[in-house]
Amino acid sequence: MASKRAAPSSDLAALRRVFDKAQRIVVLTGAGVSAESGVPTFRGAGGLWRTWQAQDLATPEAFERNPSLVWEFYHYRREVMASKHPNQAHIAIAECEKRLEEQGRRVVVITQNIDELHLRAGSKNIIELHGNLFTTKCLKCRTVEKNYDSPICEALRGKGAPNPDAADARIAIENLPKCKQEGCDGMTRPNVVWFGESLDPDVLEKSHNELNLCDLCLVVGTSSVVYPAAMFAPTVAKRGIPVAEFNIEPTSATQHFGFHFEGQCGSTLPAALAPTESEQHYKKP
């Protein structure tokens, strides 16, 4: 008869002992960490923009049918981010990365989020699995470039209201966001991974390389239902590497992990990543 798997521990002191010895830490983050900053998740009950769920708009097919509507949705999301700020979880991760780098240790964030809050908090080692809300991809020359314009194009100024009664702006294709490369002027799309699209192979390879080398994995604010990211931490745990989950509630993957800390990540994570007493013995390489 198979032995019953032990329940994950919530012993912070035990996790701190593991953290103190870890040399390569991977932090996997999802929508939950940004939700604490007030960023809409658009997943699950109530996660609507007008009358649509993200799955209705974040697809190549939706963009082909109505690029104006899809750009309205992403323009709204970009503008929302102007009023949002990194929370204590983002900040704790960034401060931990900087501090441990001085000790010759490594912290890498692998995030499913597209909102740049990790970058704004100060993290540098960031792998964005699903792309970035503030980059565009040209459909003509394929150039990917940063774009922080507000609005992203004049035709979208004042558009994107989320209330169900808002009318479709029906912006002509020639007035939608354009490529800025000299001589191109092609239409762009948000440089994010849509439903039905594959992750960038280079991004996936970088993620696997970090996961294969890590000696501690933290799972922060993710529901562990979006693949392939949902399998990252369970696969690490199978290798015997300590995995700690920080979430507002248990997930379908919780049983695979050694640690689980329930509550707001902005409250639970800083204590886990704070300097330990023995860190003073580390010397800069």
Token pair listed for 145:
């470039």
Token pair listed for 43:
């997943």
Residue with tokens 């490594």: 106
Could you give the C-alpha distances from 129 to 57, 200, 204, in angstroms and in order?
Answer: 19, 8, 7
- Residue 184 labelled as part of a binding site: yes
- Residue 217 labelled as part of a binding site: no
- Residue 186 labelled as part of a binding site: no
- Residue 95 labelled as part of a binding site: no
CA 33 to mean position of chain CA atoms: 8
Helix/strand/coil for 227: coil
CA pair distance 102, 41, nearest whole angstrom: 35
- Residue 249 labelled as part of a binding site: yes
- Residue 111 labelled as part of a binding site: no
- Residue 139 labelled as part of a binding site: no
Q: Count CA atoms closer than 13 A to 128's CA, side-chain side.
A: 18
260 is catalytic: no
- Residue 63 labelled as part of a binding site: no
| Active-site residue, from 75, 130, 256, 260 | 130
Buried b (16+ CB within 10 A) or exposed e, 109-129: bbbbbbbbbbbbbebebbbbb
Token pair listed for 281:
């013995």
Q: How many other C-beta atoms can be found within 10 angstroms of the C-beta atom of residue 225?
A: 13
Helix/strand/coil for 135: strand
- Residue 131 labelled as part of a binding site: no
- Residue 265 labelled as part of a binding site: yes
- Residue 190 labelled as part of a binding site: no
Token pair listed for 262:
């329930």
CA pseudo-torsion sign 44, 45, 46, 48: positive
- Residue 179 labelled as part of a binding site: yes
- Residue 224 labelled as part of a binding site: no
CA pair distance 233, 237, nearest whole angstrom: 6
- Residue 68 labelled as part of a binding site: no
Beta bridge partners of 246: 220, 261
CA pair distance 78, 137, nearest whole angstrom: 15
- Residue 41 labelled as part of a binding site: yes
- Residue 112 labelled as part of a binding site: yes
Active site residues: 130
Q: Would you list which residues are annotated within the binding site for substrate?
A: 74, 77
Q: Would you list which residues are annotated within the binding site for NAD(+)?
A: 30-49, 112-115, 221-223, 247-249, 265
Q: Would you list which residues are annotated within the binding site for Zn(2+)?
A: 138, 141, 179, 184
Q: Would you list which residues are annotated within the binding site?
A: 30-49, 74, 77, 112-115, 138, 141, 179, 184, 221-223, 247-249, 265
